[in-house]
Structure 1
Amino acid sequence: MKASATPQAGQRPARYGRPDGWRGRLYDVIFLSDSTAGRRFDIGLVVAILLSILVVVLDSVPMIRERHADLMHVLEWGFTLLFTIEYAARLLCVRQPLRYAASFYGIVDLLSVLPTFVSLLVPGSEALLDIRILRLLRVFRIFKLTLYIEEYTRLGEALAASRRKILVFLSVVLMAVLILGTIMYVVEGPQHGYTSIPTAMYWAIVTMTTVGYGDITPHTTLGKAIASFMMLLGWGILAVPTGIVTAEMTARRNDRRGGPVRLPRTCEACGSAGHDAGARFCKDCGAALPAVTPRR
């Protein structure tokens, strides 16, 4: 796995402030990726994150935990100490450590090491079953990968830019679920499991997302027809958010490659089409092509 070396990924933490002297040099290694040391640090940290997640997953398997309990314990503490040192170094090399600690990545860094220390500080944790939940929070280390892989950043930007469209889409889906769920409540009734409108809405969500648990099923002919319509509708619904986000990602990729997209034009003099996007004159008659407004 290759860490991103783009200025975009490296310049993001600049809002925390770059100090001078040796702290500034440490900042360049930890937060930036435009140097050999920075790239090596990023790649090494990504490998450590993946290995630590693997240890957490394997430790949840009873057979492996029983046979290699000591090894799992040593590895977990080794990764915990490594990420603790990394977290402390990040706080040390920025001018505004509290601002970084309160940021998304700062919280993720803390959550990645805190559960192990909590399990050590709480004696008799076997009596507290909920302590296992805290230990499972170690999987939050996987979110640290988003700082080093550029595609995560692009996907996040596309989702943020599409949030209003997706919100409108979800509101339409919610209206469809409410209407169709209410209809099924009237058609099927409590005798077939549709005891309330919320229950019918739950069935509608399950049906439209094509999960189909089968705990509630229509029995009447009309109910089965409505369910069939909703299943087919679900196929189209699943494609809408994918198209929205894909279009946004394509537009942003075109922006990075050279700004707005310019579509091919048709010559007004001879009607010839198929000109290059940047062409100024017709390839057949030589007439000047009409100017176009860039479209994103």
Structure 2
Amino acid sequence: MESQYKHNWQSKLHEIIYEADTPIGKWFDVLLLFFILLSIVLVMLESVTSIDQQYHRVLYIGEWLVTILFSVEYVLRIISVKKPLKYVFSFFGIIDFLSTIPMYLSFLFVGSQALVTLRALRLLRVFRILKLARYLGASNQLKDSIIASRVKIMVFLFAVMISSVIFGTIMYLVEGEANGFDNIPKSVYWCVVTLTTVGFGDIAPQTALGQLITTFIMILGYGIIAVPTGIVSAEYVRSSQKADQEEEHLNQNNQSERIQSNLGHVHLNSQHCANCNVSDHRDKSEFCYSCGHELHP
């Protein structure tokens, strides 16, 4: 009887924390999003010296309240699954840990000589931003598009590197040390920042030929910016069209159920398995596709 109660208690807790498709799960995610954004705002305000000096105590208390809430959430996530270590060493498990631990580590460093270290530890709190990734369903499609484009992008980057070396060497020969191009590595660096339209204020070509080459490099830079964007965009559109065609095909043959998802295209939901902690199950699925465990015991 006691084990059955514990099982039901864990199951209900798992539903609240991991299931974004249930009403109570949605409310939990909304509250969690609010506190994540609040923690980010607190860190930003704390980095402003004038604000921190005036409201340091308020910001400090607020940071501790958020840290305690995230600590409770982290513990609840661990005890609500049957294989806690799988969550602990998962991507989001590590992010949750890194977003919580710095405030506790601050107790280990006392004294003025450790202030620099403490500031470095406090920077780890920006990992909370990554906790938002689990709620951005469209990021999965963007990730797939980037992965599908990785070969083309790598070839493109390799071509840019070769071009930077060639143009950097040419500028070194044309301008020389007298005009600030002291060596080839520095000239290549100048070429990279010129291609990316950032600009390198400390060095500027003085000769007519050097200025002509620089003009060509800057114009080429605008084209370089457009190429990877076009590659990824094409893969993104292709992925969306493929998903739409599959959905239409399934609907025409009455072989699929109406499925909701964060993307609006992928026929999966955010349901998590309490046994192996995998997600992306079909709606109305009764068993986990990975381990076969019952999803709604």
Q: TM-score, normalised by structure 1?
A: 0.77
CA contact (8 A) 1:254 1:260 kept: no
Distance in 2 (CA, whole Å) between partners of 1:89 and 1:248 is 39
2:27 maps to what in 1? Answer: 40
Amino acid in the other structure paired with 1:47: F
Corresponding residue for residue 67 of structure 2 = 80
Q: Which moved more, 1:166-175 or 1:251-260?
A: 251-260
Distance 1:247 1:210 in 2: 24
- Work out which of the residue numbers 22, 25, 28 in structure 1 matches 2:15: 28
Structure-2 residue corresponding to 1:54: 41
Return the alpha-carbon distance in structure 2 between the equivalents of residues 152 and 73 of structure 1. 33
**Whole-Å separation in 1 of the counterparts to 2:233 and 2:67:** 37
5+ unaligned residues in a row in structure 1: which ranges? 1-18, 263-296
Structure 2: runs of 5+ lacking an equivalent: 1-5, 250-297
> Per-residue deviation at 1:206?
0.6
Asked whether the equivalents of residues 119 and 125 of structure 1 are also in contact (C-alpha less than 8 Å), the reply is: no
In the TM superposition, residue 37 of structure 1 has moved relative to its aligned partner by 1.1
Cα distance between partner residues in 1 of 2:43 and 2:55: 13
- The correspondence of residues 264-283 of structure 1 with structure 2, limited to 5 A, is none
Aligned residues: 244
Matched residue, 1:236: 223
Instruction: Provide the alpha-carbon RMSD of the alignment.
Output: 2.0
Letter in 2 for 1:231: M
Question: Structure 1 residues 175, 260: closer, same or farther in 2, change over 3 A?
Answer: farther
Runs of 4+ in 1 over 3 A off after TM superposition: 125-128
Aligned counterparts of 2:199 and 2:82: Cα–Cα separation in 1:
53
Q: Please point out which of 94, 112, 119 is paired with 2:81.
A: 94
The answer as to 2:177 corresponding to 1:177 is no
Deviation, 1:35, is 0.5
Q: Does 1:118 align with 2:118?
A: no
Aligned pair partner of 1:204 in 188, 191, 211: 191
Residue number among 171, 175, 198 corresponding to 1:188 in the alignment: 175
Which of 193, 212, 236 matches 1:225?
A: 212
1:40 positional shift = 1.0
How far is the alpha carbon of 1:124 from its aligned partner?
Answer: 1.3
Higher relative contact order (CA 8 A, sep 6+): 2
Q: Output the TM-score relative to the length of structure 2.
A: 0.77
- Please identify the structure whose Cα radius of gyration is greater: 1
Tell me the distance in 2 between the aligned counterparts of 1:165 and 1:105.
Answer: 29
Q: Please, which of 124, 129, 135 is the counterpart of residue 142 of structure 1?
A: 129
Q: 1:60-85 CA deviation, whole Å, 9 max, x = no partner?
A: 11222122111111100000011111
